Amino acid sequence: MTCGAAFIYSTKFLDYHFHSDHPFNQRRVLLSKDLLEKNKLLSKSDITEPRMATEDELALFHDKVFINAVKRAGTSDLSDDECMEYGIGTEDTPAFPNMHEASSYLVGGTLTAVDSVLQGKSEHALNLGGGLHHGFKRKASGFCVYNDGAIAINYIRQNYDLKVLYVDTDAHHGDGVQWAFYDDPNVCTLSIHETGRYLFPGSGHINERGIKEGHGYSFNLPIDAFTQDESFTQTYETALREIADFFQPDVILTQNGADAHVNDPLTHLCATMETFEQIPLLAHKIAHQYCNGRWIALGGGGYDMWRVVPRAWAQIWSVMKTGDIQSGDLPPDWQSEWQSKSPVTLPVTWHDEKQIIPNIPRKDDITEKNDKVLQSALKYTNNKLNEML
Ligand SMILES: [Zn+2]
Ligand SMILES: [Zn+2]
């Protein structure tokens, strides 16, 4: 199956750069793009240049005072009080030059992706520069300044009036997007993430189900630390199928953080590439089954930027473009291009080698716990029960 897909990219994405030791590094997007080009999956005609989001567009979600603080942070120092209030200048989210412009380009990329799909220029669109799911209305958080996903959903609601299913497979809870639509029955959020017991941001409990009209439209699957492929994909697949059937979305927006991988330095999940192959394959299926193919995918976290993120993100585009994942060897000229710049040995195959899978003695326990989380989270997707809500 061949679908029309748009790859949103600008070198301006690389200007979203805190400092050289910061774990969040947008060179991941360039590495993914280069891998696709060298694998002959991406050509110039696939690429759409993004625009910068306007201030009115940012204000679809953010407070004007916050936008102004971001603008000032990029050119001069904020006071200590302002840093506290707006979450900028912290260790996680330090200020950097042109912070507002760089952050607005990531948002513009996501809005360009939305327009491409909803104006019928392509069925799918991918903005690997986006997915900054921790951004709040008036506060930056967890490496995220402007929350492009939340802005895009408001933009879809306002300009296209469609029901949006947001699916977040980043290892961290998609808190910023969840709270933005917590009372909205036209936006359903699903986040599968490592339990917040030991991991930022700490939220994402099963019982966060939404409020008022939006009650029953927020789903959380907090899975156990050390979860491996089988349990991750089983939990994700069952949940996404049931929730899509329950909600009947018009469009799907996915956040594709690649930090659930066993090599990721910031989280404790133990997935391999297998999980990052299954994630886009099912999202694609569901988009065609329920949404006439309307699927917009974003990047997100992912801190093993050399070994994990490029392959994981390239597979999303592969699925969008060809309907399937890649397997076998990576293009050797990709390794020769980047190996000298990488502190670790680059992978040579699309799939992970078996040796990287750790032996987790608690595996059965973890699977059982995750199954219980799944059952409890999906308790209300059954239509009869839903009428009682
Ligand atoms: Zn398709
Ligand atoms: Zn993350």
Kindly give the distance from the C-alpha atom of residue 260 to the centroid of ligand 2, in angstroms, as a whole number: 8
pLDDT, position 2: 73
Kindly give the distance from the C-alpha atom of residue 204 to the centroid of ligand 2, in angstroms, as a whole number: 13
Kindly give the distance from the C-alpha atom of residue 200 to the centroid of ligand 2, in angstroms, as a whole number: 9
Query: Is residue 384 predicted with pLDDT exceeding 60?
Result: no
Kindly give the distance from the C-alpha atom of residue 275 to the centroid of ligand 1, in angstroms, as a whole number: 19
From the CA of 196, which ligand is nearest?
Answer: 2
Residue 294 three-state SS:
coil
Mean per-residue pLDDT of the chain: 96
Kindly give the distance from the C-alpha atom of residue 122 to the centroid of ligand 1, in angstroms, as a whole number: 9
pLDDT, position 386: 52
| 75 — pLDDT class (breaks 50, 70, 90) | confident
Kindly give the distance from the C-alpha atom of residue 301 to the centroid of ligand 2, in angstroms, as a whole number: 4
Kindly give the distance from the C-alpha atom of residue 209 to the centroid of ligand 2, in angstroms, as a whole number: 21
Kindly give the distance from the C-alpha atom of residue 286 to the centroid of ligand 1, in angstroms, as a whole number: 10
pLDDT, position 327: 98
Kindly give the distance from the C-alpha atom of residue 281 to the centroid of ligand 1, in angstroms, as a whole number: 10
| 336 — pLDDT class (breaks 50, 70, 90) | very high
Phi-psi region of 87 (alpha: psi -120 to 50; beta: other; left: phi over 0): left
Q: Could you tell me the pTM of the whole model?
A: 0.97
Give one DSSP letter per residue of 308-370, joined into a string.
THHHHHHHHHHHHHHSS---SBPPHHHHHHHGGG-SSPPPSBSSPPGGGS---TTHHHHHHHH
Kindly give the distance from the C-alpha atom of residue 37 to the centroid of ligand 1, in angstroms, as a whole number: 20
Q: What is the per-residue pLDDT across 221-245, written as a single tens digit (0 to 9) for each? A: 999 999 999 999 999 999 999 999 9
Domains of the chain with bracketed CATH:
5-388 (3.40.800.20)
Average pLDDT over every residue of 103-117: 98
Kindly give the distance from the C-alpha atom of residue 251 to the centroid of ligand 1, in angstroms, as a whole number: 13
Q: What is the per-residue pLDDT across 234-279, written as a single tens digit (0 to 9) for each? A: 999 999 999 999 999 999 999 999 999 999 999 999 999 999 999 9
From the CA of 143, which ligand is nearest?
Answer: 2
Kindly give the distance from the C-alpha atom of residue 120 to the centroid of ligand 2, in angstroms, as a whole number: 31
Q: Are 216 and 354 in contact (CB under 8 A)?
A: no
Q: Are 28 and 148 in contact (CB under 8 A)?
A: no
From the CA of 287, which ligand is nearest?
Answer: 1
Query: Is residue 295 predicted with pLDDT exceeding 70?
Result: yes
Give one DSSP letter per residue of 143-183, joined into a string.
TBSS-HHHHHHHHHHHHT---EEEEE-SSS--HHHHHHTTT
Query: CB neighbours of 184 closer than 8 A, spacing ≥ 6?
Result: 213, 214, 217
Kindly give the distance from the C-alpha atom of residue 32 to the centroid of ligand 2, in angstroms, as a whole number: 18
Question: β-pairing, 47-48 with 295-298?
Answer: unpaired
pLDDT, position 382: 67
Query: Is residue 353 predicted with pLDDT exceeding 50?
Result: yes
Query: CB neighbours of 86 closer than 8 A, spacing ≥ 6?
Result: 66, 69, 70, 73, 78, 138, 139, 140
pLDDT, position 383: 54
Strand partners, 194: 223
Kindly give the distance from the C-alpha atom of residue 336 to the centroid of ligand 1, in angstroms, as a whole number: 32
